């Protein structure tokens, strides 16, 4: 028997009522560069991230307002660097892209590195902003590992200046972090259960 039409609603997705997409973007980026980071370990580290954030901000406020780029940098340094030797960089500090083509070229150069690397950035549309991860790029498309099941950002629809009818997605270049693993950073041993290692084809956390 079909559900009466008046009762049909679009179910809320996980994350629809909270501002934790920034944490998920950090986890998904680190999973790209560090294959030992299993889902089981992610559960433990998620708690560590929340406890670390409590020292900086009200977690209830984060739940409503979301994380800023400095919060992600703090978690990268405090949680992921000691455990996995993961480091971050801000590619546009002191080097504002003059246009979308320059940003695209910078992303292409970063992702051409033969070593595993990921780009965390924020995208904005009308009445909406979201942290995501760029894992691949071509001339026309940013390919995403995203906690809200976004697949891509099309170049023809993107801007670095403002949201408009012609360019409905703005890439917030100031809120961009490059995540990679520095083998020179001392690591702590992280216990892994057999068979839990993450493989690149698995779905992003979300």
Model confidence at 196, pLDDT cuts 50, 70, 90, reads very low
Whether 130 and 21 have beta carbons less than 8 Å apart is answered as yes
Reported as a pLDDT band with limits 50, 70 and 90, residue 6 is low
Which pLDDT value is given to residue 55? 84
Separation of alpha carbons 45 and 79, rounded Å: 8
pLDDT at 17: 64
Tokens representing residue 179 in the block: 């995540």
Sign of CA dihedral 22, 23, 24, 26: positive
**pTM of the predicted structure, to 2 decimals:** 0.84
Give residue 138's Cα distance to chain centre: 19
Question: CA 139, CA 9: separation in Å to the nearest integer?
Answer: 38
Q: Is 204 a residue whose pLDDT tops 70?
A: no
Stretch 165-174: mean pLDDT? 97
Find the mean pLDDT for residues 59-88: 89
Joined tokens for residue 167: 């360019």
Burial 114-151 (b: 16+ CB within 10 A, else e): eeebbbbbbbbeeeeebbbbbbebeeeebebbbbbebe
Give the domain ranges of the chain. 21-181
H helix runs in the chain, sequence order: 21-33, 39-54, 59-65, 69-75, 81-84, 100-111
Task: Read off the pLDDT band of 172 (50, 70, 90).
Answer: very high
83 close to 45: Cβ distance less than 8 angstroms:
yes
Span 21-181: which CATH code? 3.90.70
What sign for the dihedral angle of Cα 157, 158, 163, 166? negative
φ/ψ of 124, rounded to 5, equals: -135, 140
Greater confidence (17 vs 132) lies with 132
């Amino acid at each position: 028997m079909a559900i009466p039409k008046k009762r049909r609603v679009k179910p809320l997705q996980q994350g629809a009522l909270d501002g934790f997409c920034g944490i998920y973007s950090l986890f998904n980026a680190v999973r790209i560069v560090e294959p030992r980071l299993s889902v089981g370990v992610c559960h433990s580290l998620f708690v560590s991230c929340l406890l670390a954030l409590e020292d900086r901000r009200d977690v209830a406020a984060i739940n409503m307002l979301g994380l800023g780029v400095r919060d992600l940098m703090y978690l990268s340094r405090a949680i992921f660097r000691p455990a996995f030797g993961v480091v971050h960089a801000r590619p546009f500090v002191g080097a504002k892209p003059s246009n979308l083509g320059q940003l695209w070229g910078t992303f292409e150069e970063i992702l051409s590195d033969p070593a595993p690397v990921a780009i965390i950035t924020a995208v904005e549309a009308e009445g909406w902003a979201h942290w995501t991860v760029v894992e691949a790029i071509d001339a026309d498309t940013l390919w995403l590992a995203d906690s809200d099941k976004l697949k891509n950002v099309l170049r023809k629809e993107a801007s670095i200046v403002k949201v408009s009818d012609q360019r409905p997605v703005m890439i917030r270049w100031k809120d961009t972090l490059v995540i990679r693993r520095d083998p020179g950073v001392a690591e702590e041993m992280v216990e892994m259960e057999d068979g839990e290692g993450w493989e690149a084809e698995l779905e992003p956390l979300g």
